[in-house]
Structures are given as structure tokens and as C-alpha cells.
Amino acid sequence: MAGLSSARSDQPIQVRTPAVRVSAGLVASGWLLRRLWRLVVVTAATPAALGGLVLVVVGVLLWSASPLLLLGAVGVLALLLLVGRLLWPQRWLIWLRLPVRSWWRGWFVYRHRWAAAMDTAGLTTSWRGTLWNPTVLTVTSTLSVDRVRVRMLPGQTVEDYAAVSDRLAQTFGATAVRVHSVPQRPHHVEVCLLTADPLTQVVEPLPIEDQVLTAGLPLALAEDGRTWRLQLVGSHVLVVGATGAGKGSVIWSLLLHLAPLIRSGLVNVWAVDPKGGMELAGGRSLFARFAHGDSDAAAGYEATFAEVLEDAVALMRRRQDRLRGVTRLHQPSTSEPLVVLVVDELAALTGWVTDRTAKKRIEAALGLLLSQGRAVGVVVVGAVQDPRKDVLPMRDLFPTRIALRLNEAEQVNLVLGPGARNRGAQADLIPDSLPGVGYVTVDGSAEPVRVRFSNVTDQDIAQLAAPALQLLPGGAA
């Protein structure tokens, strides 16, 4: 063994492998093959490109048979497209117009200008003398937004793209750019470029649906044209907005979609309207409890609110006793409905209360409900104008937060969470002319979504609160 150790040499070991010499022709063919393979993959993965290719091949075949045949085929195709558009406008849009638009904008707007745009936005990297660009993976267009999925360069983060969103918007002629991470794809980022704003139009109440407690309540339209749904079971909802921002439309949209469930007994709404009942009185017939303050009450104006909240805490505790060890999330039923505590002006229960005893009772009850209520089917939906901590100390206990028009830029992060404004939630820049427009964040998904809540008119409210019409045989009311 001693021989082995004495065999060690102090000479450096040769670790560099000898260079393999490859002919230039081989390298060029390899490069060409890779490019061809990529073209095949991209064509096969893009229905519009595949369809275009098939059309070109058929066109060439027909032309070689007879030019007249090609002309006839083009005429028939144009007629079919026209009929399809008239008879099935939705399918025409989804199957033809949007794929073609995605393909067109993908190649001629984004990939065409991508390298220059990345360079001027500072998103390229130089490494060992080569300039590297993030890669565009896919482009999907709707009529109002282009979603560009990008593979980031090593070392980049989603925040790097969010920081230059204004530059990207200017480069590609978009009205705004939002940047999202992609779940389970840490190397990818989704850059959403807004080409038109569907939220400048007033949104009519969306159709009433069954199963909204599981699918989510369709309360608003998102800027990408999709319906935004509120998952109420298992969440508390905070709505913040300056005066006239449209907080009322959020609460009334919610009540509109809950109304059938209230009538069937699956949901109980307890309404607290500290503004003397001015805002919610129209929905009185829908509420299991309605506290609006009484200026003649012996115990004081705010004592009624404390009482309702304490009753909700007592109910919550009874449910906790029953459900302990049975389930971790209560499922609403007619025997044990979801209790939705709607508070129109939370500040009147927290910051502005003068009666110190009532204030303590309210704060204790609200804190208990917000920290323990959602698992047992007691949820709070609260609206407030001012999100500061001294007005609303427990705002972090709301998993769903909605920021309508706000007065100051600093308020955005207070409501939606740190970094929300950098990610595009500019709630302080929402104009007065767009009530009901706001940004929403839900715990667990970092990106704020821009939406417009449906506008519920006084007429809708009057109909909503009217007792359900009894249908007589033959359909007459």
C-alpha cells in the first residue's frame, strides 16, 4: 500500500479532452435540420398554420388540374365562411377568427419586433460575446388582449418584466401591459398586452346561474373578456374604494347572484348598514337580519351592530363545536346555510365609533369572525373607503381584496398587498368616469386582475327585493 502513495506525482493532470474536428458542411446541415424540425413543430402546434399549409397544398393541386377549379373552390370556401359567420358567430370567432388573429399578431407584431423590443427594454443579456434574447413561446389573442408566453433568460424574474411593462406597452402599441407568473413553470412569464379595453362599457348583470357556491359568483367582467367569479365559500371579501367608486355595485351584484340561494335557504345574509340603512334598505326582504342603527336606542347607536356581530360569533362557536373533527371546511346546506355578513361601511364599526364599550365589543367580535369564521361557513363581506390601519386594523384577515378607484397610490399596496402596484394594479389612476372598475387579488395568486363589476340599477334592486312571482298554470304571473 505504501507503494501506492509513493506513486503520486506532483505533475498536473491533463483534463482537457482533445478537440473533435467536424466539417463545416456537417455543422451547417445540423443547424438546417434543427431549424426545419422547429418549423414542423411550430406548424403542427398551430392550427392556423396547419390550416394555411393544407390550403396552400390543395390550392397548388387544384391550380395544376385547372385554374377554373381553383377559382370555384375559392368561391365555395368564401361562401361557407360567410354562412358560418352568420349562423354560428361564436364558433366562427373561437375556431377561426381568434386562431388566425393569434397567429398573425404572434408573427407580425411580436416575433417580428421582439429582438429590438427586448434590447431597448433592457431584457437581453450578453454572455461570452453573444447577445441572448428571451424566447417567445406562444401568442394567444382575444379581441382585447394578447397573451405572450415567454421563456425568461437565466437569472431573470417576473419582476424584471413588470418593471418595464410601460416600455413594452409603448413598443407594441398596447394600452397597458400586465405581467403574470405561470403556475408550475418557473422559467416562463406571461406578458398580457391590452389592445382594447372592454371595461370602458358598462357591464350588465351577468346571467343568474345554479351552483355559484362551487363555481363562483359571476360578478364582473375581466379585462381579457372573461367572466370574473368570486369564490365566497371559505373567504372573506374586502371592498375598498373612494366615494363614488362603485362599492355599492360590488355588494348589489353579490346580492343579485345570491338571491336564488337565499330563497332556497342555502344562504343567509345578515346585513349591517351603519349609514342608517340608506344603502342596503332596498334589499331588506332578502336579509335574515338587518342592523341599520337606531338613534333612539337606549344602549347607544352602535350597540345594535355589536349585538349582531356577537350573535354571529355565537353561531360560529356552535358550528365549531359540531364540526370539530368532522370537516375542515363547512359545506352550506339548507339545515346549516352559509351566513354572509355584509357590512356596508366597515370604518363606522372600527375607526369612527365614539362609544368605547361598543367599539371594544365590535372589534373583538369582528376579529374573531375574520380569523375563525370562514371554515365554519360564516363569511364577512365588508366595504370601506379608507384602508389605513387605524381605520381598519384587521384588513390583512380578508383573503379576497378588491381595490376600486383609490385616492392615493400608497393605498394600493395597503389593500392588495406589497408589490401589487408594481405589478400593474394602478387603482389610483382609475378615472371617475369608470365606476365599478377595480383590481382584485385573492390569497394564493399573486397577480391582481383588473375587472369591472356589473352595474345593478335601482330598478334591478326593486325587482330583486320583490317577493318571487308565483307562476300560474300557463305561465301568467
Ligand X SMILES: Nc1ncnc2c1ncn2[C@@H]1O[C@H](COP(=O)(O)OP(=O)(O)OP(=O)(O)O)[C@@H](O)[C@H]1O
Q: Which residues are annotated as a binding site?
A: 241-248
Asked if 243 touches ligand X (CB under 6 A), the answer is: yes
Report the nearest approach of ligand X to the CB of residue 348 (Å). Answer: 11
Asked if 455 touches ligand X (CB under 6 A), the answer is: yes
Among 241, 293, 332, 438, binds ligand X (CB under 6 A): 241
Cell numbers at 412, concatenated = 394600493
List the x/- string, 417-436, binding to ligand X by CB under 6 A: ------------------xx
3-state secondary structure the chain: CHHHHHCCCCCCCCCCCCCCCCCHHHHHHHHHHHHHHHHHHHHHHCHHHHHHHHHHHHHHHHHHHCHHHHHHHHHHHHHHHHHHHHHCHHHHHHHHHHHHHHHHHHHHHHHHHHHHHHHHCCCCEEECCEEECCEEEEEEECCCEEEEEEECCCCCCHHHHHHCHHHHHHHHCCCEEEEEECCCCCCEEEEEEECCCHHHCCCCCCCCCCCHHHHCEEEEEECCCCEEEECCCCCCEEEECCCCCCHHHHHHHHHHHHHHHHHHCCEEEEEECCCCCCCCHHHHHHEEEEECCCCCCCCCCCHHHHHHHHHHHHHHHHHHHHHCCCCCCCCCCCCCCEEEEEECCHHHCCCCCCCHHHHHHHHHHHHHHHHHCHHHCEEEEEEECCCCCCCCCCHHHCCEEEECCCCCCHHHHHHHCCCCCCCCCCHHHCCCCCCCEEEEEECCEEEEEEEEECCCCHHHHHHHHCCCCCCCCCCCC
Asked if 282 touches ligand X (CB under 6 A), the answer is: no
Report the nearest approach of ligand X to the CB of residue 83 (Å). Answer: 37
Which of 6-14, 111-119, 242-250, 256-264 is the region at the interface with ligand X (rule: CB under 6 A)? 242-250
Report the nearest approach of ligand X to the CB of residue 352 (Å). Answer: 14
- CB closer to ligand X, 152 vs 258: 258
Report the nearest approach of ligand X to the CB of residue 451 (Å). Answer: 10
- CB closer to ligand X, 110 vs 305: 305
- CB closer to ligand X, 72 vs 244: 244
Asked if 411 touches ligand X (CB under 6 A), the answer is: no
Report the length, in residues, of the chain.
Answer: 477
Which of 7-15, 65-73, 247-255, 295-303 is the region at the interface with ligand X (rule: CB under 6 A)? 247-255
372 contact partners, CB below 8 Å, separation of at least 6: 316, 320
Asked if 385 touches ligand X (CB under 6 A), the answer is: yes
The CA-based dihedral angle spanning residues 219, 222, 228, 232, taken in that order and rounded to the nearest 10 degrees: -70
Asked if 156 touches ligand X (CB under 6 A), the answer is: no
Residues contacting ligand X: total by CB under 6 A: 15
Asked if 450 touches ligand X (CB under 6 A), the answer is: no
| Residues of this chain, 197-216, that bind ligand X according to CB under 6 A | 202
Report the nearest approach of ligand X to the CB of residue 455 (Å). Answer: 3
- CB closer to ligand X, 148 vs 203: 203
Among 75, 244, 265, 276, binds ligand X (CB under 6 A): 244
- CB closer to ligand X, 192 vs 406: 406
- CB closer to ligand X, 101 vs 452: 452
Among 188, 247, 421, 450, binds ligand X (CB under 6 A): 247
Which of 42-50, 239-247, 328-336, 351-359 is the region at the interface with ligand X (rule: CB under 6 A)? 239-247
Binding residues for ATP, by number, are 241-248
Report the nearest approach of ligand X to the CB of residue 381 (Å). Answer: 13
- CB closer to ligand X, 75 vs 244: 244
- CB closer to ligand X, 17 vs 459: 459
- CB closer to ligand X, 145 vs 346: 346
Chain residue at closest Cβ approach to ligand X: 436
Which of 66-74, 144-152, 412-420, 448-456 is the region at the interface with ligand X (rule: CB under 6 A)? 448-456
Asked if 245 touches ligand X (CB under 6 A), the answer is: yes
402 contact partners, CB below 8 Å, separation of at least 6: 237, 238, 239, 240, 241, 250, 415, 438, 439, 440
Which of 14-22, 99-107, 166-174, 246-254 is the region at the interface with ligand X (rule: CB under 6 A)? 246-254
Beta strands 217-222; 135-141: pairing state: unpaired
Among 248, 293, 382, 448, binds ligand X (CB under 6 A): 248
Closest to 150 (Cα-Cα) out of 192, 122, 120, 97: 192
Q: Which residues bind ligand X (CB under 6 A)?
A: 202, 241, 243-249, 385, 435-436, 452-453, 455
